[in-house]
Chain A
């Protein structure tokens, strides 16, 4: 019973992290058809930003991480993606790959590739007790934070003028512009929101890991894009469900696989995803149908 609950909580917290990443990827993809491979690096920036006010003040550290990642997100948009706004999606994709690679390598040169550690409050690590079942507090914080962010994003997209403009732009960018939606504003908002999601997600993810290297972004990015592919490119709902599904599959495999096969867990997950795509090439909720 205890391990079942713990497994469920693990799946929820890992799934929440993946869902946040997938949301960020899907949001930017929806608006400018960019698969942002640099999104993993937003998490890396979050990790290094945590070092600035480490052990000084948690609140200050939190605010600084948000500011740093949102600024970095807007910077990548301005420098790398805006000049290519009219380029085809594969040029944009490879550009984001180049940004990701460059930023990561600069971080390696700057830090010599060494691991860094962050301190998080002791009280976050003490598990909660529910009648003999102990549940990690950080896992609950991650899950609740992610759900709150999804709720907030949903409100933003459905209830505010900016959100409605963003959805219009995602559906038909040209038509939206003709109706007076400011392209720069919508795209920059998408990057700012994606950066905000990465800041929160990254802060909690790094808090859970405790230490990191410049290579922290790749596994996160892979999980994020696999989630979006499972859910269907271009669907925000699909991205969230894909994230939770991926988390659940990973935790399930971790539990049921014999110990000598656990090392192959991620390879197996990817193979499962390919099998899923065999039956449903557009993903579970694929709305975006590319020409051919």
Chain B
């Protein structure tokens, strides 16, 4: 019994956001047509990516601009492993023969992508996490640039700037939903683990945590690798959902979109990550329809409006509600808006404000 209770407490932050998400996805999936179906699979992949990004950003307090790089690696590994050999010969002539001939099951490819991404992330995290939080954050932007430059120039291996076609189709939306829920549970499990709790302590009170023996840099590495692995899986499914892979879709625009989702929802809680994806996705879908001009007759927004909206949403949120819609609170069963925690945060912020003046 205590094992069950323990498990319940460990995944508690994921339960209500997960249920809400499942409900929304199933309703839209049943009601929607073919085009909503595709939009929905993309949103579910983004959900996995954003939840993955949250695992590092939310727990460590370091803003990473580089997680999209792991999305790209996950997508490319999946594409290389699952495309048909004769297609690969055209797009990726320099691949070694064994890889050229290989055509794996998409699920197996996704699992391999997960491990490849985790290995790369560990390799990168070892030097990066030695930096102070801020320097680590900006260096992740350089990481994004490295991955982008490398993939777009290694044409023989990745197709360069071309779009790779012929990635096998993603699983149905309910299955993708299950994967997203697993990501949510993994994120909740980590943030309630001792490493997660110590990392969050170091985020809120770096000196106090360090003096109590919290090895901040080590736990940052754990969080970074787990985060990258989840994001990589998101990338793998993103490739399958679009059935194409192109490096242009894994750069600043994607980084801005995923960060905007985190910021709008509130980047310090899992509920915030989920809420951000839902709110921004709905808003973007609306604007995209207006852009195409078939929602309200006579109103057509100029192309590029979606990106402007993403930027405006992020900026407005930061200026008006820097803590996001959820204000850093979790959405926990039993205590819908846990007053105790909220008050703690408020007093903390008040104190910080007084300190700053």
Contact = CB atoms under 8 A, between A and B. Distances in A.
Contacts of B30: none
A219 to B, nearest CB: 9
B63 A93 contact: yes
Contacts of A106: 308, 311
A104 B168 CA distance: 35
Interface in A62-116: 80, 83-84, 86-87, 89-91, 93-95, 97-99, 101-103, 105-106, 108-109, 113
Given A95-B319, A263-B153, A274 B134 contact: no
Which of A89, A267, A273, A275 has the most chain B CB within a 10 Å cutoff?
A: A267
Contacts of B357: 86
Given A222-B141, A225-B138, A270-B146, A80 B130 contact: no
Contact of B305 (A109, A225, A277, A292): A109
B259 interface: yes
A101 B253 CA distance: 8
Nearest to B154: A264
Contact of A87 (B153, B314, B322): B322
Contacts of B142: 222, 225-226, 229, 270, 273-274
Contacts of B206: 291-292
Interface string A131-161: 0000000000000000000000000000000
Given A90-B134, A93-B134, A266-B149, A277 B139 contact: yes
Interface in B243-268: 252, 256, 259-260, 263
B237 to A, nearest CB: 25
B216 A277 contact: no
A263 B152 CA distance: 9
A89 B312 contact: no
B232 interface: no
B210 interface: yes
B61 A90 contact: yes
Nearest to B314: A98
B308 A109 contact: yes
B127 interface: yes
A278 interface: yes
Contacts of B17: none
Contacts of A283: 135
B150 interface: yes
Given A84-B318, A281-B130, A102 B149 contact: no
Contacts of A89: 134
Interface string A270-286: 11011101100111000
Contacts of A263: 149, 153
Interface residues of B, number: 55
Given A95-B319, A229-B138, A264-B153, A109 B302 contact: yes
Contacts of B207: 291-292
Contact of A101 (B61, B145, B256): B256
Contact of A91 (B65, B154, B252, B318): B318
Contacts of A46: none
Interface in B155-185: none
A233 interface: yes
A113 B314 CA distance: 22
A37 B130 CA distance: 22
Interface of B: 61-63, 65, 124, 126-128, 130-135, 137-139, 141-143, 145-146, 149-150, 153-154, 202, 206-207, 209-210, 216, 252, 256, 259-260, 263, 302-305, 307-308, 310-312, 314-315, 318-319, 322, 352-353, 356-357
Interface of A: 33, 35, 37, 80, 83-84, 86-87, 89-91, 93-95, 97-99, 101-103, 105-106, 108-109, 113, 218, 222, 225-226, 229, 233, 263-264, 266-267, 270-271, 273-275, 277-278, 281-283, 289-292
